[in-house]
Structure 1
Amino acid sequence: MIATRKIGSTFADLFLYGATFLLLFVSCKKDRETPVELPAKQSLNAKVEGGELLLEVTKKTDEYIFNFEKGSVNVPLQNISKIDAELARWRTELTFSDGSKLAIPTKGTSLDYIVENIKINPSGYNPLAASVDVGLPTYGRVKVIVHGKQGKQGTISHLCTSETQRQRIPILGLYADYNNVVDLIFTDREGNERGKTTLHIQTAALNVQDFPRWKIVKAQTGKMEPGVNLVHYPGRSEADVSLPYMVDQEGELRWLLQFKSSPDLKRLSYSIGLKRTKNGTFIAGDQAQQRVVEIDMFGNLKREWDLAKLGFGFHHEITEAANGNFLITVTKTAARLVNGEPRINDFIIELNPQTGALVNEWDLAKQLDTARYVKPDGITPPAFSQTANNWAHNNSIAEIGDDLLATLRYQGIVRFNRAGQAQWMISPHKFWGANYQSLLLKPVAEDGTAITDPAVINGDASSAGFDWPWGPHTPVALSEDRILVFDNGYNRSWIPNFGSGANNYSRVVEYKIDRTKKTVQQLWSYGKERGGSAFSQALSGVQYLSQTGNVLFFPGMGVKTSIGTGGRVMEIDPKTKEVLFELEIATSSGTAFHRVTRIPLYPANL
């Protein structure tokens, strides 16, 4: 029994020894058959994967030095059997001593080869745009430069955000009926130039029926806010399809969307116009189909939201809130006055664009007095007269701090919190009942003097340093206690604009609010000195220009200009009240625009 155990143990030991030897033999043989990855090859491949360009190769006594954009790689001579540079295609092919190969993107000569396809007006709705398909040597970005007709002043440039090797480059800002010169500059991820190619893109002449006419009156470009002027033209009438376009600082047309060609947007009636979102798209309300639409720079419909299904109809304004939701001025289909009659233009909603869900609903009739109503005077056109149904005519919505700021043609300016509680009102005190007196701010003149004249307080008169906003539009919150607003001068001092004794003018005005003292001080204004040449009874607006601190002031309807009736766009330095830029626009209808927006032509994230 003992002997048997010894024999078994010895056999087991011999078997284990043999198996171990066999495994070691096979393992060593496998190692000899698997090529060892060269450290230098790994370093070179890391440069390729990182999107760097090879700049040059230097041969030393015992090594090659590969110089890249961000450092070099040293490779022993014996590791490389062949270097084949193809600079016309921006590449170098290495053959290693083990027979493997590596293609390295390399700083080359001409970049003309990267352009694969050019398509003018790719959507069919923007004839002053194109798309260019490119195949880049490696990862990187493309900077587009559309050269101006007269040189630098009209030049538009943009560094695209995409970093992939294959890209579709958006070309925006082409001139109509012109052989446009466009540079495509290939850069690294940080925007440093690597090389460029130049394109010539010939556009056709435009054929737009009854298109607005315009004239540059003044342009001090060195003092102006950069960008183009996006004109929100409603078409020949409110029933016509909207036709937005952009005019540069030289008065050249650089962009437009012809929605009549779009099956999705051919009836678009967007009221105040397009609003650029944080994503670089545009949003707009559509009065014709009671919806909200999102479109790109080429005019393609990206998304839409049905307001009618939620029980609302769109009017006037949509804006993107700080939280990414949409704030929209609406009419609630089911809303009624006490007498059962429908009421309009007095609801605001907050919509979540991701889910389409209604987040908040604010009824202005619960905050303000629907009975504060001035009967028609028989002079003001019916379309612009207050009615019992249209008692408020809310035409704008904005944010101020955590609250909301609304303008109402017939009631003034109101700040209210998200619980729907009014915080203060800027409005002539006349006709407001006792329940609303605590909300009314008391007027203070520009020199800081409290105004005690009942005629001014009630709006029957104005003083040298203060006036109320009449039929206001586009409130802009500069801070918690300062706002800009367009004062249309609608029936100023209760006198019909087209009756005897009227003094018609519109203004941009800045107010300062002291919530503790419940006062509103006029800080400055501009427009009264322009009289009827800058008067617009309705529509219109203002924009604060953040880079310069200037203000855009744009009366848009019925304005008398040197080329006809329409609107006027003025950029003003509020410190000196100097007009730095002035653009006249005339149309056959007399309505030039709802609003104008100074923006970069390219959105930052395109």
Structure 2
Amino acid sequence: MKKLFSSVLVTSMLLSVGVNSAFAMGGASGANVNYHKQGQIGETVVNPYGIAPLTAIIKNGGYVLKDVSVEIVPKENGQKIAYTVSKRNLLTHGGIPIFGLYPDYLNTVKVSYTRVHNKKEEKINETYKIFTAPLYNEVAGIDMQKSTFFTKAEVKKLDPKFKDRLYFVNNIVEKSGIGTKVVWNNPIGGALEWNYYPRNFIIDTTGEVRWYMLPSKIYDLETIYQAGVMMGFKQNDNDGRLSFGYGQRYAKYDILGHKSFNRRLPSNYNDFSHSMDDADNGHFFIRAASSNLKRADGKYVRTVRDVIVEVDENGNVVDEWRLFDILDPYRDSVLKSLDQGAVCLNIDASKAGQTISEEELAKLDDNDHFGDILGSGPGRNWAHVNSVDYDPVDDSIIISSRHQSAIIKIGRDKKVKWILGASEGWSDKFKNSLLTPVDNKGKKIDCNEKGVCENSNFDFTWTQHTAFKIDEKSKGDIIYVSAFDNGDGRGMEQPAIPSMKYSRMVVYKIDQKKKTVEQVWEWGKERENSLYSPVASLTEYQRDKDSIMGYFATAGTVFDFKTGAFLSEPNPTIVEFEWGAKEPSVEIQLFDTTGYQAWPFSVEKALSK
């Protein structure tokens, strides 16, 4: 009786909503796709992989699509984003990938495509309306943070040649009470060197955000193996995808969030940060550290930012560069001149302007004091390698060692090819590798062992970030290298007044055979302290526009020298120059955001290849 009553009730309900509605829900008509569709193909899916909210896919609707082009119609006085879509991307995403939507906005998107069905081809032009949610990012809960990404972007200069630029910005949210609970030196426990929530986004040349990462699907600030600082972002040349790392992981995704891989570091290594370089053969060169090293004195330590690991496309370790074996981890000349208030991301404002003494360095060994601290010897922050660049011409790597204030090239045989840096403290083993500064006529420039060069504009780099070979300008033994010279400890000393510090972008011409170096371009010195960036930042050549791009990532921080407190987040500046130019073609300043690196993003690489 109950079963009969239930059957009658269900039948009555179906009749009350109507036969057509029942069919639309997949009734007697069979399986039916009834998503809302705007055009002549499939449904629109916003944030298709959960980590890129300003992207979408217009699904193919069961058709074969080809000859696809997309245009994101700009706001008034905005920047148009337009691109074609490759077959690879159409098949991977099952439809038309949409990139560059404005946040919290009803976007207008124009698409053009050829639709193929039963061998019949039809050319279609359509307009879609796609609404997006407001920008969202986790916050640190501190009074310094005033915005999700930045309070404003001021475009100070823009040459028409660069108006189509998009800049990928790799920033971080300041320390939070959640993240610091798993940081191993703050003060104990955990297994992460740093733990700051990601703040990654792309802006156009009007200052609008056109993409950002919502990392919650792949990131957890409270979980050791899912957290850390996202760094080392690079758009791979071979497929336009983004490679990067964080904490104990390294990863690769496309701009819509489609995963190539997201792997734990091989167990012999730990603590990724700063740099991950891709090679043409699919290998990656990862800046990590040793999980367990037995020192010459028999002590076991976990090292700090001093190992380069080469992995193949499947994650197998191919080779390693153990810098504590290759270089001299006890060279402390630079360490004694550094501002302890700005030891890269381990910023301690209370120690601003202070340096470490010979006696304090010696006590570290006596007390078995190891960890992410300024000090010499394996198990301490003696090298602080912040970039690695693979040179396929001679199968070598070029590294930037912040705490040696040196740019160094090392071969596959683990032998040093050359060192660009001041001569003080290098043992006899390395003296023949030191590059000799020369002028544009090849004449030797007189520089003392502390790197001070009289009667010349030549200067070495000091606590630099990023050292990249410029392949397009290099030929044979003559190579060009760009670097961001942060400028702390310039000339192996702290200046009399902190405001005397400055940062600069610089390009060197190196004769690898003659072991000479010429400074061919610099910029930033003329801005004095206004762009001084004590940590982070980038200088890199851009072949598409024959330009040099720079990011002064930690410039403009308001600092109270009396109390040792930071009063604001930095106000980073993006600049881009035509090759050899003395003034920038682009200058964009972001306000209230802590920067790491930024670089031009290519939508063509990402979606058209």
What TM-score do you get using the length of structure 1 for normalisation?
0.73
CA distance in 2, matches of 1:165, 1:186: 17
Structure 2 residue 423 is matched with structure 1 residue 465 = no
Task: State the match for 2:174 in structure 1.
Answer: 236
Structure 1 segment 252-331 matched on structure 2, within 5 A: 252-260=208-216, 262=218, 267-277=226-236, 278-287=238-247, 290-331=248-289
Determine the C-alpha separation between the residues in 2 that align with 1:347 and 1:303: 22
Q: How does 1:207-222 map to 2 (within 5 A)?
A: 207-208=136-137, 209=139, 210-211=147-148, 212-222=150-160
Do the aligned partners of residues 234 and 423 (structure 1) sit closer, same or farther apart at CA in structure 2, a change above 3 Å counting? Answer: same
Map 1:136-175 onto structure 2 (within 5 A): 140-150=66-76, 153-162=79-88, 167-175=94-102
SS in 2 for 1:593: strand
Residues 594 and 604 (structure 1), Cα distance of their counterparts in 2 relative to 1, 3 Å cut: same
1:103-162 Cα shifts (integer Å, max 9, x gaps): xxxxxxxx9752321122223332211111134876523211111113673333333325
Question: For each residue in 1:387-443, what CA deviation from the matched residue of structure 2 results, as whole angstroms up to 9, or x when unmatched?
Answer: 112211111100232321111012201111111111010010111122211000111
2:243 is paired with a residue whose SS is: strand
Aligned length: 484
1:140-194: CA deviations, max 9, x gaps?
23211111113673333333325779942111110112121101101499xx993
Partners of 2:479 and 2:510 within 8 A in 1: yes
The answer on whether the counterparts of 1:317 and 1:329 sit within 8 Å (CA) in structure 2 is yes
C-alpha displacement of 1:274: 2.1
**2:402 aligned with 1:409:** yes
298-307 or 518-527, larger mean C-alpha shift: 298-307
Aligned position for 2:106: 179
- Shift of residue 358, structure 1, vs aligned partner: 0.8
Q: Which moved more, 1:244-253 or 1:258-267?
A: 258-267
C-alpha deviations, 1:188-233, integer Å up to 9, x for none? Answer: 99xx993311111122323434422332333424222743110001
- Cα 1:332–1:434, aligned 2, differ >3 Å: closer, same or farther? same
Tell me the distance in 1 between the aligned counterparts of 2:257 and 2:575.
Answer: 27
1:552 to 549, 553, 557: 549
Q: How far apart, CA to CA, are the structure 2 residues paired with 1:580 and 1:520?
A: 27
Q: Structure 1 residue aligned with 2:587, among 561, 579, 582?
A: 582
Q: Distance in 2 between matches of 1:596 and 1:213?
A: 18
Matched, 1:477 2:454: no
Question: Whose strand fraction is larger, Structure 1's or Structure 2's?
Answer: 1
Per the alignment, residue 60 of structure 2 pairs with 134
Kindly state the Cα deviation for residue 447 of structure 1 after the two structures are TM-superposed.
5.8
Would the alpha carbon gap of residues 446 and 585 (structure 1) be closer, same or farther in structure 2, given more than 3 Å must change? Answer: farther
| Residues 1:565 and 2:570 are matched in the alignment | yes
Q: Which amino acid aligns with 1:215?
A: A
Q: Which amino acid aligns with 2:535?
A: A
Code of the residue aligned with 1:573 in structure 2: it is E
Quick one: which amino acid aligns to residue 214 of structure 1? K
Aligned amino acid, residue 224 of structure 1: F
Larger deviation: 441-450 or 471-480? 441-450
Q: 1:125 maps to what in 2?
A: 51
**Could you tell me which amino acid in structure 1 is paired with residue 463 of structure 2?**
G
Alpha-carbon deviation of 1:293? 1.9
How far did residue 557 of structure 1 move? 1.5
**For residues 428-443 of structure 1, what are the structure 2 equivalents within 5 Å?**
428-443=422-437
Give the letter aligned to residue 464 of structure 2: P
Amino acid at match of 1:394: V
Match of 1:537 in 2: 534
- 2:511 matched residue in structure 1: 514
Partner of 1:102: none
**8 A contact 1:473–1:540 mirrored in 2:** yes
Which residue is equivalent to 2:492? 494
Cα separation, partners in 2 of 1:382 and 1:490, compared to 1, 3 Å:
closer
Deviation of the 1:594 alpha carbon: 1.3
Deviation of 1:347 (Å): 0.9
The 2-side partners of 1:164 and 1:548 are apart by 31
TM-score, scaled to structure 2: 0.73
Inter-partner Cα distance in structure 2 for 1:484 and 1:251: 26
Name which structure has the greater RCO, CA cutoff 8 Å, separation 6+.
Answer: 2
Identical-residue share of aligned pairs (%): 26
Distance 1:421 1:362 in 2: 10
Q: Which residue identity does 1:129 align to in structure 2?
A: T
Aligned to 1:338: 296
CA distance in 2, matches of 1:247, 1:314: 26
**Secondary structure of 2:403's aligned partner:** coil
Question: Corresponding residue for 2:312?
Answer: 352
The letter of the residue matching 1:255 is W
1:202 is the counterpart of 2:144: no
Matched to 2:506, the amino acid is: V
Partner Cα distance (2:578, 2:265) in 1 = 40
**Are the equivalent residues in 1 in contact too, given 2:196–2:229 (CA < 8 A)?**
no
Residue identity in the other structure for 2:402: R
Larger displacement relative to structure 2 (298-307 or 360-369): 298-307
1:424 matched residue in structure 2:
418
Please tell me whether the aligned partners of residues 555 and 571 of structure 2 are also in contact (alpha carbons under 8 angstroms).
yes
Task: Give the aligned residue type for 1:245.
Answer: F
Structure-2 separation of matches of 1:125 and 1:344? 30
SS at match of 1:594: strand
Q: Name the SS for the 1:407 alignment partner.
A: strand
Q: What amino acid sits opposite 2:253 in the alignment?
A: I
2:328 equivalent in structure 1: 369
How far off its partner does 1:468 sit? Answer: 0.4
Structure 1 vs Structure 2 CA RMSD: 3.0
Larger Rg: 1
Task: Report the CA distance shift for 1:567/1:272 in structure 2 as closer, same or farther (over 3 A).
Answer: same
Compared CA separation, residues 114 and 221, structure 1 to 2 (3 A): farther
CA distance, structure 2, for counterparts of residue 436 and residue 187 of structure 1: 63
Partners in 1 of 2:51 and 2:220 — Cα distance? Answer: 11
1:116 aligns with 2:42: yes
Letter of the structure 2 residue corresponding to residue 338 of structure 1: A
> Which stretches in structure 2 are left out of the alignment for 5+ residues?
1-36, 140-146, 176-193, 345-372, 559-567
What does the per-residue CA deviation read over 1:251-296, in whole Å, with 9 as the maximum and x for residues that have no partner?
A: 1110001113556798443443422232333222121xx1212223
Q: 1:434 to 1:152 in 2, by over 3 A?
A: same
Q: Confirm or deny: 8 A CA contact 1:350 1:358 kept in the other structure.
A: yes
Q: Identify which of 587, 599, 602 aligns with 1:600.
A: 602
List runs of 5+ in structure 1 lacking aligned partners. Answer: 1-110
Tell me, what secondary structure is at the counterpart of 1:490? coil
Q: How far 1:476 moved relative to its partner?
A: 1.6
Cα distance per residue 1:493-535 (max 9 Å; x no partner): 11226x5377311111111111232211111111100111221
Q: 1:139 to 1:500 in 2, by over 3 A?
A: closer
Equivalent residue letter for 1:283: S
1:487: how far off?
1.0
The secondary structure found in structure 2 opposite 1:309 is coil
For the 8 Å contact 1:315–1:330, the answer to whether it is kept is yes
Matched, 1:247 2:185: no
**Which string of whole-angstrom CA distances, capped at 9 and with x for unpartnered residues, describes residues 319-357 of structure 1?**
211221010011111224433363321111100122x21
Which whole-Å CA distance do the structure 2 matches of 1:417 and 1:243 have between them? 35
| Aligned-partner Cα distance in 2 for 1:337–1:327 | 24
